[in-house]
Amino acid sequence: MSQTWKVGTENDYIVRTCAWSAPGCHPVGCGLKLHVVDDKLVEVEGDEEHPITQGRLCVRCLSLPEYVYHPDRIIYPMKRDPKDRGKDKWERTTWDDALDLIVERTEELQEKYGRDTVLVFSGTGRQATLYGPAMAFGVFRSPYHIFAMSGQACYGPRCTVANFVCGNIGYPEIDNAACFPDRYDNPEYVVPECIIVWGKDPLPSNPDGLFGHSLIDLMKLGTKIIMIDPRITWLGSRSELVVQIRPGTDAAVAMAMLNVIIEEELYDHEFVEKWTYGFDALRERVATMPPKKAAEICWCKEETIYKAARIFAKAKPASIAWGLAFDQQLSGGQAGHCVMAMVAICGNLDVPGGVTAGVRSNFLGKWRVDTQINLEPGAFENRVGTPEFPVFNANNFSTQPDIILEALENDSPKQFRMAVFQSSNVLAPSCNVQPQRWYEAFKRFEFVVVTDLFMNPTASAFGDVFLPVSTFPEQNSVCVPYYGSNMPFVGAINKAITVGECKDDIEINIALGRRLNPDAWPWETGEEFFDDQCKEGFGISFEELQNQVVYYPGYTYRKYEKGKSRSDGRQGFNSPTTKIELKSSLYETFGEDPLPYYKECPYSPVPEAENGKECMEKYPLALTTGARKYTSFHSEHRMIDSLREIDPWPVVQIHPDDAKTYGVTDGCWATLENMFGKCNMKVEVTPTIHRGVVMASHGWWFPEEDKEEPNLFGVWKSNVNSLLAHKYNNPLGYGSIHKNMCCSIKKAESLDPQIGVAELKGMAIAADAASEDFLKKAHGLD
Ligand SMILES: Nc1nc2c(c(=O)[nH]1)N[C@H]1C(S)=C(S)[C@@H](COP(=O)(O)OP(=O)(O)OC[C@H]3O[C@@H](n4cnc5c(=O)[nH]c(N)nc54)[C@H](O)[C@@H]3O)O[C@H]1N2
Ligand SMILES: Nc1nc2c(c(=O)[nH]1)N[C@H]1C(S)=C(S)[C@@H](COP(=O)(O)OP(=O)(O)OC[C@H]3O[C@@H](n4cnc5c(=O)[nH]c(N)nc54)[C@H](O)[C@@H]3O)O[C@H]1N2
Ligand SMILES: [Mo]
């Protein structure tokens, strides 16, 4: 087969490829043309032939050469004597030596403590999201893969809600015609009249597989946007309507919107009759949340709720893009339940221009499950956290992280002695909350492997071996939107260059797997692995995928009418009742209310909250965190000068009226504080944020600062996750309060909040006691 993705001469060519990681991004598969001269990436352009992105790219891809060739990038394996942890005493080594060392130490520790001495930590969305569990199960034969974010509060909670309410349908997303090569021109496609963009800002975030700019395409074709957000973003300022709410109150606004839609008979009666279960119970429940009550809770106008509900329900088709805010607030699961109900009862599920429901295939899926064969019988089922959160552990490759943290802290069980960080900079204010607790807990590890691209706070504090990871221009690989749970298309990642001795995640898995557990790793190269997977998943070779650059598995609308939603081939949905479960027939079994409700977070600065009095007196601002910026992916890109020039510092956004009240001005330093911690950021005064609310950046550390202990690149200075708390999970084990907290703000002199890890740890212990109490009360756990 001739190669069509690479054109030019031997020393000067252009490679057509799709983006993924590294550097970090979600699997959106943006199309790129990489111009290479003498094996050097000289220019990155958008690929105008790519059907989804059509030549458009964000700044992170445009600045790739700066990232790829950054002088601080680590491009050879490194090792350090464990006694020198926290010091800059790394020495370069060879792959053979590094792998031998890992094998030797693994065998020694597993001999002493058992196979499950090894914990593999992965972060979000990068290729390691797919290969991390296989690293744990298939390479080290340990059942412990961890995504160290409280309540796995990203994507997983939304998938779980969708699975319970709609019956295992994969990740529901707006239909932006991504499944058709001719996109919006396809005769089957209908442009949505309205899209609610809810707790999501897809232009900067492009989350999970959604090319956010397709909202602009749709707006040009006539789609009206409604945003539900505490801030008026760029997209919000161009929307039909913004429902500006207090963070964490989405379930109240969602129940009230359902109330309007049902009371005013704006729903699709035929769909409700034929395909839903529990409609009357839902009607009764949402009647308890009239728009007037919701408006008081949410700090918005009653009329705005009516207006949003009516525009959405009358539009045909209409869609909802639900975002991270649903995963990171106390009643987020309930808000999500309402969203699925709104989509369904208005007849917008799995219809053209509505909300798509999963296209899946055997690509990677079967193999990922099969890697569990390498575990001892019962090891997976008996993981730490299963008694507390059986639903979570049964439904995830990863183990419930809040319970893992406690196991590490309490030294119970005792065996966890080795860690592998494969795409997770846990100490930076990314993956976890209360990073100082994780920091203390990680001291127990006798051996730590890091696979990453730059030295970061986590690696500097704990790494013993550092394996250098390649960027996607250095790889032959595959990009799967939504990690395979809703694949409108699949993208080829085609190799353009080689840098140092870097390997991608699957190559590292193979290299280690072939030494530690060869039976599970018959492939010698990534290409061989992907060839098998492409054949199994799509019936084409990897080479064919590479040539096509973008491959379409095909999409069928209204699968529930055609017997294509259920595994048994019957009509309906994959739920116990075969219907959309507006009242969940399973939730009650797991200690969850079968119907949506709104519960106030104990740390809201409102009188109804459990600690409302203290919050209103001392920490009167509602705190949300982490709204995405174009210039970084979580803790990444802080060392990229051209990006840092655009966003040089962590910022806290505040309304001008509040700025005046609390004596802060635009551009000054300020300290954010609450009962759990404090941090410093620069103030951005903006009328686009709701009064009484502040939004603080996440993921900040300072590559320009001293990397050694105790400074660790200044990781404790601007760490907003110190102000958040663990264990605000729902009874299923999901969810957190990253976007549902309180704080105070006061002017500061500099970036440095004059706080050390010991003081932060003290505050975190107080937070732990409080959340322990919450968990017991909320779920009857003891
Ligand atoms: N306060 C607050 N905190 C948040 C959030 C928030 O909204 N507010 N958002 C949360 C969310 S949704 C998430 S998902 C987490 C994310 O948290 P993480 O995914 O843990 O993100 P990072 O801390 O950036 O760590 C990722 C590391 O992986 C490396 N890396 C990048 N690409 C690759 C790759 O392809 N392979 C390997 N092996 N390594 C790679 C990077 O260099 C980086 O050091 O953060 C959470 N933290
Ligand atoms: N550039 C860039 N892109 C990214 C990432 C990144 O770090 N950088 N991270 C990736 C990851 S892991 C994820 S999970 C996605 C997340 O991407 P999104 O789902 O878009 O989430 P966010 O950017 O956290 O927040 C989106 C919006 O929610 C609003 N918001 C905050 N609190 C609330 C609330 O309580 N209710 C409502 N309704 N809205 C609220 C914020 O103001 C913001 O405008 O982005 C991914 N894409
Ligand atoms: Mo995420």
What CATH number does residue 700 fall under? 2.40.40.20
Q: What is the pLDDT of residues 71-100, one digit of tens each?
A: 999 999 999 999 999 999 999 999 999 999
Residues 148 and 247 in one domain: no
Pick the ligand that lies closest to the CA of residue 331.
2
Check residue 752 and give its pLDDT: 87
Whether the predicted pLDDT of 256 surpasses 80: yes
* For range 338-357, the mean pLDDT: 97
Total domains, the chain: 3
Check residue 270 and give its pLDDT: 98
Helix extents (H) in 381-443: 390-395, 401-410, 435-442
| Residue to mutate (ligand 1; options 72, 475, 632, 634; most atoms within 8 A of CB) | 634
Distance CA 85, CA 463 (A): 7
Residues 149 and 225 in one domain: no
Q: Is residue 135 helix, strand or coil? A: helix
* For range 455-463, the mean pLDDT: 97
Residue type, 242: V
Q: What is the pLDDT of residues 388-399, one digit of tens each?
A: 999 999 999 999
Q: What is the pLDDT of residues 153-191, one digit of tens each?
A: 999 999 999 999 999 899 999 999 999 999 999 999 999
Residues 347 and 366 in one domain: no
> To the nearest whole percent, how much of the chain has pLDDT over 70?
98
* For range 327-340, the mean pLDDT: 98
Residues 482 and 502 in one domain: yes
* For range 693-704, the mean pLDDT: 97
Question: Nearest residue CA, atom 30 of ligand 1?
Answer: 423
Residues 368 and 352 in one domain: no
Check residue 431 and give its pLDDT: 81
Does residue 307 contact residue 315 with C-beta atoms inside 8 Å?
no
What strands lie across the sheet with 465-468, from one edge to the other?
91-92, 78-79, 465-468, 447-452, 418-422, 118-121, 145-146
Whether the predicted pLDDT of 781 surpasses 70: no
Question: Nearest residue CA, atom 37 of ligand 1?
Answer: 423
371: its two tokens: 């890697």
- Residue where a domain stops, chosen among 551, 575, 596: 551
> To the nearest whole percent, how much of the chain has pLDDT over 90?
92
What torsion do the CA atoms of 187, 191, 193, 198 make, to the nearest 10 degrees?
A: 140
Q: Using the atom order of ligand 2, give the atom closest to the CA of residue 699.
A: 7
Pick the ligand that lies closest to the CA of residue 325.
2
Helix extents (H) in 448-572: 457-462, 505-516, 526-538, 542-548
Residue 181 sits at the vertex; the CA angle it makes with 177 and 182, to the nearest 5 degrees, is: 75
- Residue where a domain stops, chosen among 500, 526, 551: 551
**Would you say the CB of residue 592 lies under 6 angstroms from ligand 2?**
no
* For range 439-445, the mean pLDDT: 96
Pick the ligand that lies closest to the CA of residue 233.
2
Does residue 80 contact residue 89 with C-beta atoms inside 8 Å?
yes
What strands lie across the sheet with 40-46, from one edge to the other?
6-8, 12-18, 31-37, 40-46
* pLDDT band at residue 769 using 50, 70 and 90 as cut-offs: confident
Q: Using the atom order of ligand 1, give the atom closest to the CA of residue 127.
A: 35
Whether the predicted pLDDT of 410 surpasses 60: yes
| Residue to mutate (ligand 1; options 131, 322, 425; most atoms within 8 A of CB) | 425
Distance CA 651, CA 660 (A): 17
**Would you say the CB of residue 250 lies under 6 angstroms from ligand 2?**
yes
Check residue 252 and give its pLDDT: 98
Residue type, 410: N
Check residue 779 and give its pLDDT: 61
* pLDDT band at residue 506 using 50, 70 and 90 as cut-offs: very high
Residues 446 and 516 in one domain: yes
Whether the predicted pLDDT of 780 surpasses 60: no
| Residue to mutate (ligand 1; options 424, 438, 470, 629; most atoms within 8 A of CB) | 424
Say how many Å lie between the CA of residue 206 and the centre of ligand 2.
9
Q: What are phi and psi of 64, to 5 degrees?
A: -55, -45
* pLDDT band at residue 15 using 50, 70 and 90 as cut-offs: very high
Is there a domain that residue 315 lies in? yes
**Would you say the CB of residue 325 lies under 6 angstroms from ligand 2?**
yes
Whether the predicted pLDDT of 774 surpasses 90: no
Say how many Å lie between the CA of residue 152 and the centre of ligand 3.
9
Check residue 782 and give its pLDDT: 46
Does residue 359 contact residue 180 with C-beta atoms inside 8 Å?
no
Check residue 775 and give its pLDDT: 65
Is there a domain that residue 269 lies in? yes
Residues 620 and 537 in one domain: no
DSSP assignments along 258-314, one per residue? HHHHHHTT-S-HHHHHHHEE-HHHHHHHHTTS-HHHHHHHHTS-HHHHHHHHHHHHH
Is there a domain that residue 596 lies in? no
* For range 29-44, the mean pLDDT: 98
Question: Nearest residue CA, atom 28 of ligand 1?
Answer: 423
Residues 107 and 178 in one domain: no
Is there a domain that residue 369 lies in? yes
Residues 662 and 519 in one domain: no
Whether the predicted pLDDT of 266 surpasses 80: yes
Distance CA 690, CA 233 (A): 11
The CATH number of whichever domain residue 250 belongs to comes to 3.40.228.10
Check residue 360 and give its pLDDT: 76
Residue type, 603: Y
- Residue where a domain stops, chosen among 305, 331, 356: 356
The CATH number of whichever domain residue 129 belongs to comes to 3.40.50.740
Say how many Å lie between the CA of residue 160 and the centre of ligand 2.
19
Residue 190 sits at the vertex; the CA angle it makes with 186 and 196, to the nearest 5 degrees, is: 130
The DSSP output letter for 392 is H
Distance CA 622, CA 616 (A): 10
Residues 718 and 675 in one domain: yes
Whether the predicted pLDDT of 36 surpasses 90: yes
Is there a domain that residue 45 lies in? no
Distance set, CA 281 to CA 130, 262, 276, 587 (Å): 39, 12, 12, 14
Residues 398 and 474 in one domain: yes
Q: Using the atom order of ligand 1, give the atom closest to the CA of residue 508.
A: 38
Is there a domain that residue 587 lies in? no
Q: Is residue 186 helix, strand or coil? A: coil
Mean pLDDT of the chain: 95
Check residue 159 and give its pLDDT: 95
Distance CA 577, CA 559 (A): 16
Q: Is residue 682 helix, strand or coil? A: strand
**Would you say the CB of residue 224 lies under 6 angstroms from ligand 2?**
no
Is there a domain that residue 528 lies in? yes
Whether the predicted pLDDT of 777 surpasses 80: no
Q: Using the atom order of ligand 1, give the atom closest to the CA of residue 431.
A: 17
Question: Nearest residue CA, atom 40 of ligand 2?
Answer: 199
Check residue 1 and give its pLDDT: 66
Check residue 748 and give its pLDDT: 96
Say how many Å lie between the CA of residue 231 and the centre of ligand 2.
11
Residues 337 and 405 in one domain: no
Give the pocket of ligand 1 (CB within 6 Å): 21-24, 123-124, 126-128, 149, 154, 324, 422-425, 428-431, 451-454, 456, 469, 505, 625-626, 634-636, 698-699, 720-721, 738
Structural domain of 230: 173-356
Is there a domain that residue 31 lies in? no
Does residue 729 contact residue 604 with C-beta atoms inside 8 Å?
no
Closest C-alpha among 556, 528, 523 to residue 541: 528
Q: Using the atom order of ligand 2, give the atom closest to the CA of residue 253.
A: 38
Say how many Å lie between the CA of residue 324 and the centre of ligand 2.
5
